[in-house]
A and B are shown apart, each in its own frame.
Chain A
Amino acid sequence: MSIFQSLIKKEILHLLRDFRTIIVVLVIPVVLLLLFGFAISTEVNNVRVAAVVEQHTNETRHILEQFRTNTYFTFKGIIPFDEIENILRKGDADAVVIFRSELGELKHQIIVDASNTNMAQTSTAYLESVISSATGIPVVTNTLYNPQLKSAYNFVPGIMGMIFILICAMMTSVSIVSEKETGTMNLLLVSPVRPWTIILGKLIPYFLLSCIILTLMLILSYTVLGIPFSFSVINVIWITILYVILALALGLFISTIASTQVSALLVSGVMFMIPVVLLSGMIFPVENMPLVLQWFSCIIPARWYISAMRVLMIQQLPIKYVLTEVVVLSVMTMIVLVLAIKKFNAKK
């Protein structure tokens, strides 16, 4: 067996025997995907609505019928005017619609509990659309790319962006630093093994692990979460591989600056976890951030990756629409790799 093969074999054996870690590493992506895909959703699908009706007309009857039958609403009944504040205050309803006829024309007012702004905005929009379609000229809204407005579609790219940075960067840095701590790294460095071989011997097993995770996540996304499958999956795969390499390089870089496993964990946690969750656009849209934060988000690899994944996985557009992202990710990979290898060799 060659030196290189035996180093890789050692790393794989080490991973396989660290049973708990391997389980965590394989289970966390699945759990996160399912959690964000099903349990956590920003959709509002149970608006409890009550109505105050001054005078019933065909129109109001029609609208109330909509409230009763539409699955997005739970109709809490018709209430007298002075009950409005009470029902909202007790939290028995999220919104109250008041119908009033003026000169034969139906006017309406929506009173909404805005203690949760997101929910208030969404439910107002729902109510508006139901009322307007019943009364005036309906606005035809055509939702492209995600017709059911499933939040899973939004979260899958985000989760992938987070998982690969976490697993690749954290695990490689911790595993290299742990070799420094136990002193086995010194044994390798005094041996005739070239530094390059040591580095690749460390990175390749984690690269393989990432490929397994990627397969697992893609299968889940395209089956359980129902993201439409198309040939763009090939682009998804190779851009993810580029992103994985970038994350591995980051892990290598962290391992050269951290001297203990704890600090490696902290550095990768603070450097990656927080910015990735807050600034990458995974949850909060980058476009809504203050300008300074928008600039800052440009140096976060996950931002580019997630944005590319949205285009490729959800919009299913061809590769030419994510050229910027690919170029930025490639350049970042180069820079980090060069820096990491320079630092790794510069210990003398």
Chain B
Amino acid sequence: MMDKEIVISVKGLTKKFGNFTAVDHISLEVHRGEIFGFLGANGAGKTTAMRMLCGLSFPTSGSGMVSGYDIISQAEEIKCHIGYMSQKFSLYENLTVWENLNLFATIYGMNSKTIKEKTDVAFKTLGMENVQNVLVKEIPLGWKQKLAFTAATLHSPDVVFLDEPTGGVDPSTRRKFWEMIYRASSEGMTVFVTTHYLDEAEYCNRVSIMVDGHIKALDSPARLKQQYHAKTMDEVFRIVAKDAKRSD
């Protein structure tokens, strides 16, 4: 894994809001095709860090590269090479399943022929051929989640950022969702995922644990458990985050 191409690299990334340092000098590297788990309690700074990687927010100091582009000077180029799925599985509720995919694919510059081919494949894989023309607000949450992931990855981005992609869905749907993540990763897509579910952390190739704006631990789940003499990632997290001051 370590000899692979680096897709995300960040050095000393810092974001301050006034006197409050949301993200404090974090550094990390993520390789192509890797599933990178970005863990941390609420308020630890995960979302702020992720927003900087997506080009939604500029860092106060530090530097970073995503997919070969600088996060400060080339934010617009980065946007063409990443996919983003928000924790609310955001889609346009009043558009049909197909219209949603078509809209996002168009936004990412795909032509209608490619869109047709790609969506056909996607609907077949998802088993959603029959709901193409159903409004998104009428489909179940689990399907919305899969659809949001498909919308974020249809343009085959280098990296896909998933912001708590499994919140509020049942365990079996979560497992199926992780199968989608694995499939994407096996096709060479890098997956950068934040999550609250520590059992999901075990599915990642490597994880980082953020506490109060710092990265307190970063390694594969197996090695972290070994290092902290813990049986599960849950225990690891509790040991690492026990001194957290910011949490709610």
Contact = CB atoms under 8 A, between A and B. Distances in A.
Interface in A272-314: none
Interface of B: 54-58, 76, 79-80, 82, 84, 86-88, 90-95, 99, 102-104, 106-109, 112, 135, 151, 161
A183 interface: yes
Given A6-B106, A10-B99, A192-B107, A182 B88 contact: yes
A347 B79 CA distance: 16
Interface of A: 1-3, 6-7, 10, 13-14, 17-18, 182-184, 186-193, 347-348
Contact of A190 (B54, B88, B93): B54
Nearest to A178: B93
Nearest to A11: B92
B79 A190 contact: yes
Contacts of B102: 6
A251 B218 CA distance: 45
The 6 nearest A-B residue pairs measured at CB: A183-B90, A183-B86, A190-B84, A183-B88, A6-B106, A17-B94
Contacts of A1: 106, 112
Contacts of A347: 56-57
A6 B115 CA distance: 13
Q: Which one of B87, B88, B112, B151 has the greatest number of beta carbons of chain A within 10 Å? A: B88
Contacts of B55: 190
A186 B99 contact: no
Contacts of B80: 192
Given A191-B79, A192-B80, A348-B56, A186 B90 contact: yes
A3 B94 contact: no
B86 to A, nearest CB: 4
Contacts of A191: 79, 84, 104, 107-108
Contacts, number: 70
Contacts of B151: 187
Nearest to B57: A348
Contacts of A17: 94, 135
A183 B86 CA distance: 7
B95 A10 contact: yes
A188 B92 contact: no
Given A1-B112, A191-B108, A348 B92 contact: no
B84 A10 contact: no
A14 B86 CA distance: 21
Given A7-B103, A186-B86, A192-B108, 18 more contacts: A1-B106, A3-B106, A3-B107, A3-B109, A13-B94, A14-B95, A184-B90, A186-B56, A187-B86, A187-B151, A190-B54, A190-B84, A191-B79, A191-B84, A191-B104, A192-B80, A347-B57, A348-B57
B68 to A, nearest CB: 16
Contacts of A10: 92, 95, 99, 103
A239 B91 CA distance: 37
A205 to B, nearest CB: 13
A310 to B, nearest CB: 40
Among B91, B106, B109, the most chain A Cβ lie within 10 Å of the Cβ of: B106
Which among A1, A7, A184, A189 has the highest number of chain B CB atoms within 10 Å? A184
B129 to A, nearest CB: 22
A345 to B, nearest CB: 12
A191 B92 CA distance: 15
Given A6-B106, A348-B58, A190 B82 contact: yes
A189 B91 CA distance: 14
A186 B84 contact: yes
A187 B56 contact: no
